[in-house]
Amino acid sequence: MQKTLLVYNIFSSGINASVINKILKVLYKKGFIVDKIETSGIGEATEKIKNYLSIQKSKDEHLFMVIAVGGDGIINEAINALAYTKIPLGIIPRGTGNVFAKDRRIPFSIKRSVEIFKNKNIKEIDLGLVNDTKYYLMMCSCGFDVKAISNINPGLKKKFKILAYIYHGIAAFFTYKPVELILKVPDENILCKGYFCIVSNVRSYGFPMAQIAPEASINDGLLDICVFINKSKISFIANILAIFVKMHINFKNVFYMKTPNEIIIEHDITNNLKENKKSIPLVQIDGDVYCNLPVKIKVSKKALKIFLP
């Protein structure tokens, strides 16, 4: 009998009491003993998982795994509780974008995703770490995409799912005013300026075909950096289209590199100090807005145990 913790946000897209009951039936048939943590807001899951693990430790009880039911948001909250523990994470995709599940080909069928929860499928993977406080599984970025994400209404996101992202992405394209960013990799004497920057741990962004970091790997001890240098809309469109054929990394107006070293992203305020202080760019982590610039990003090697096909 394998004791398991099931974690989900009841207000998340694709989750309701019926879905949770179906998942529990499948797990019970497989011999799992299940405890549940139900959340209703962003940020709750990490602390609740940590508290649960602390209680389990005090009772000297063994937990086989934690299962995150939902999308990239709840997965991110789970990894921030499980990083550098011996407890592996399992995923049952039920969110809006499900970027990581699509990237790693995790089945959306409940029965098929549960079939992955076997010891032979446990992998050790890298995580990104922002400002020494927040882990991420996929990417950390700053620029146009954060503008779109920050405008999404949670209600519309749940109702219209991926269409909400597309709508706000188009709206942001016409309204967003590019702000110059400064990328630094001090240990390698790298300095680059641009208007969109992503530091990725996975290949795709949003869709499996949109491989913005085509050389990325979750277990190579490196993070992949991609910077769009030009701010013109035509250049941006060309770069986005090239992502789908993995040609953008060869463009002169795109900076791409892999590094094991610390990465710094800052806001260039030299041109107009007063204006830029009022519009310090936001940073997103795994699809949710996290903080403002500046940020320091590191790779945390083999930080997470996870069930993957």
Tokens found for residue 156: 């519309």
pLDDT at 181 over 70: yes
* H-helix segments, the chain: 17-29, 44-58, 72-82, 99-103, 110-114, 144-150, 154-160, 162-175, 233-243, 273-278
| CATH class of the domain defined by 2-117 | alpha beta
| In the chain, domain spans | 2-117, 139-143+178-301
Residue 28: C-alpha distances to residues 4, 6, 98, 242, 246 (Å) = 10, 12, 25, 46, 43
* pTM for the model: 0.89
Strand partners, 59: none
Q: How confident is the model at residue 177 (pLDDT cuts 50, 70, 90)?
A: confident
Cα–chain center distance at 9: 16
Residue in the block written with tokens 């990894």: 79
The architecture in CATH of the region 139-143+178-301 reads Sandwich (2.60)
- Return the number of other C-beta atoms located less than 10 Å from residue 231's C-beta: 17
Q: What is the pLDDT of residue 162?
A: 57
Q: How confident is the model at residue 30 (pLDDT cuts 50, 70, 90)?
A: very high
- pLDDT digits 0-9 by tens, 51-92: 999 998 887 778 899 999 999 999 999 999 999 999 999 999
